[in-house]
Structure 1
Amino acid sequence: MHKFLIHNQGDHVGVATSPIKSGENVMGVYMDNEKTIEVTSHGDIPLGHKVSVADLAEGENVIKYQVTIGESTKKISKGDYVHTHNIKTKRW
């Protein structure tokens, strides 16, 4: 059973559809093609929050919905919780 959804192939993050615990191995589903991906969470991820499905360097664009939603402020690894502590908007 999946615990997160990724909108499009090529997106860097998925959204938790259930709370995810640190160390938990979870499956996600790409909504555009129904492929699956497994990640091991590096931290607790609350319902509705983002989990990384890709390794990103500091300063790299973060993609969701096939568009840039922000920039990483530090290295992000696959399975990391993605939120204000490691991503900033590019709108301002």
Structure 2
Amino acid sequence: MTPDFKEVSVQQAPHKPTDARLILQSPQDNCLIAGARLEAGECVEIEGEMVTLAKTIDLGHKVARRALCTDEKVLRYGAIIGHVTSDVQPGEHLHTHNLESDYLPTYTHDAGHAFVDHRER
């Protein structure tokens, strides 16, 4: 079964200042990668705008580069990695609570779902 693809709008805005601890891996990406642990309440600059982080962002985790609407595709390395399951604001943590992979089963992370042990089959 192939995933349903929606048209993806790729926005390449002129370069605006972004905190050096937030890494842009490709100009097409709508997420940034935390190059260091960022604490909740900390102010960071994203695309020239000051954003106060609502939650702590761990090293290597994704952060929204701009506002994203429910079901909008998330791009990393210029490729679609999934879609957001709710509206997301710039600087918001992108993870399994609001980002769903279009390719890998993540249902095992949800309460009540798990792989069946081979001895139980």
Scaled by the length of structure 1, the TM-score of the pair is 0.80
Higher RCO (C-alpha under 8 Å, 6+ residues apart): 1
List, as ranges, runs of 4+ consecutive aligned residues in structure 1 with deviation greater than 4 Å.
Answer: 36-39
Select 2:81's aligned residue among 38, 47, 69. 69
Provide the alpha-carbon RMSD of the alignment: 1.8
Aligned residue number for residue 26 of structure 2: 8
Report how far residue 26 of structure 1 moved: 2.1
Letter paired with 2:23: L
> What whole-Å deviation, never above 9, does each CA across 1:23-48 have from its counterpart, x for those lacking one?
212246xxxxxxx6555222110011
> What whole-Å deviation, never above 9, does each CA across 1:15-71 have from its counterpart, x for those lacking one?
11111112212246xxxxxxx655522211001111111111111101111111101
Counterparts of 1:1-92 in structure 2, within 5 Å, are 2-27=20-45, 37=48, 39-40=50-51, 41-92=53-104
How many residues in Structure 1 have an aligned counterpart in Structure 2? 85
Bigger proportion of residues as helix:
2
The answer for unaligned runs of 5 or more in structure 1 is: 29-35
For 1:38 and 1:17, the matched residues in 2 are separated by 19
- Report the secondary structure of 1:20's partner residue: coil
Bigger proportion of residues as strand:
1
For 1:27 and 1:6, the matched residues in 2 are separated by 13
